[in-house]
Structure 1
């Protein structure tokens, strides 16, 4: 009963906030005023509270621009978590653009939609990301290409790491790629077991709606976000080398969060 009441209140609050903020964000995207990065961050911070997610931080976001963030991916909630912390746009799978409401919100956050299986489109997609990086937009890449089980890391796909390389030129000698790890550590203050983290994650083709409704009903999850030391990507480095360095850093930060959560 309490869970259903909480679900109803959260949905009403988020719906009202979305309806109020959406026309303002449409104006911001069209004109640049107000800052189109600010309103989505406000919405994510509100959603974070509504979902009952508590963030525990390690490290800091690097302020230098251009900057790309490369993170592991556990759940759709990762977008709310990182969106609340960073005024960023996301690199998302192309099918998300067609999802009801979520697709509209993703477009209003100026997400870039990519088709990871279409290799012939990779260069054009990387160039689109590079242009946004040149405009000093922080871009978030979930480099595994899918969601994991919350305890282990899948190999990072290097294709879209070509985007920061495209930014390099006479005026830009290097660009930073900051590793970020996301681990859901506690539920209602109790440290999660591996099986509980798997249950809390949103893996592959799992239906979104039941997972969303369960988190809305329960709330009370702690998520640990670790900002690692940025990798400096210059002309002497290949995208595969950078992807591997970032992957190793994310794996190390995940191990710390799993072994000794804040």
Structure 2
């Protein structure tokens, strides 16, 4: 894929930095005086603008959930640190993330500001603690989101889903919204530019994203589920199968080029452009 000019890259990164600083300022000094609805709207708009600053365009396929659906769990595959903000640009949720994310430069601060719940998956008791926190949030009519793969991939595969956090759905009878995420280039072909994998630093990832010409992220909202008729294992398997099936159906397909004429899927673009 062709890259943008060096000057454009620097400009995008400068805008990113100032936007992040502004976001932290708003969370620290304005959020305490804002209503919950105003906070949600501000978070959504800020996330849309973040995408624009980095040159990303967010596309929605299927029927998107509302701004903050009550007692709802969003479950998605995981490719990039940007996944959180992409989803928040459409549906604002409290995310569950690995414990080490809170120590990442910049991204960790943003996640803390968004009331992210951090989990150490290696500790059984921590999983129990987080499940209890999720259940409390859902009973309070909040929306929770997590990535059951437990780590990022390059987007060319779907890793096995872990079922440990799905327990809260049974305790609250929550609605489950499976989401498939996919990054593409300007031709609508799969792109690895946003993948945050291996030993890549956040600085390297930001530079790669800022260098991309017209990088797109597709958010595919799949059919919703409820826990009824399932146990934890079968529910986890069904969610994984749905996301994996969407992934397999789109690999090698230039989605953005054919969506209007052949897919017949409603599309909404959340972009500040």
Distance 1:107 1:97 in 2: 7
Q: Does 1:125 align with 2:130?
A: yes
Q: Structure 1 residues 8-17 or 220-229, which shifts more?
A: 8-17
Q: Does 1:134 align with 2:139?
A: yes
Q: Does 1:180 align with 2:179?
A: yes
Alignment match, 1:222 = 216
1:200 CA drift (Å)? 4.6
Q: Does 1:206 align with 2:200?
A: yes
1:130 CA drift (Å)? 1.5
1:26 CA drift (Å)? 2.5
Distance 2:4 2:252 in 1: 33
SS at match of 1:166: helix
Match of 1:240 among 233, 241, 261: 233
1:30-69 equivalences in 2 (<5 Å): 30=32, 33=35, 35-63=38-66, 65-69=70-74
SS at match of 1:56: strand
Alpha carbons 2:135, 2:169 under 8 Å: kept: yes
Runs of 4+ in 1 over 3 A off after TM superposition: 27-32, 197-200
1:67 CA drift (Å)? 0.6
Distance 1:209 1:182 in 2: 22
TM-score by length of 2: 0.83
Alignment match, 2:148 = 143
Alpha carbons 1:72, 1:180 under 8 Å: kept: yes
- Unaligned runs of 5+ residues in structure 2 are 257-273
How many residues of Structure 1 are paired with residues of Structure 2 in the alignment?
250
SS at match of 2:165: helix
Alpha carbons 2:95, 2:116 under 8 Å: kept: yes
SS at match of 2:65: coil
- Measured against aligned partners, the alpha-carbon deviations of 1:78-110 in whole angstroms (never above 9, x if no partner) come to 122112111112111111112233222111111
TM-score by length of 1: 0.86
Cα-Cα RMSD: 2.2
Alpha carbons 2:189, 2:252 under 8 Å: kept: no
Alpha carbons 1:92, 1:112 under 8 Å: kept: yes
Distance 2:73 2:15 in 1: 32
Q: Structure 1 residues 42-51 or 20-29, which shifts more?
A: 20-29
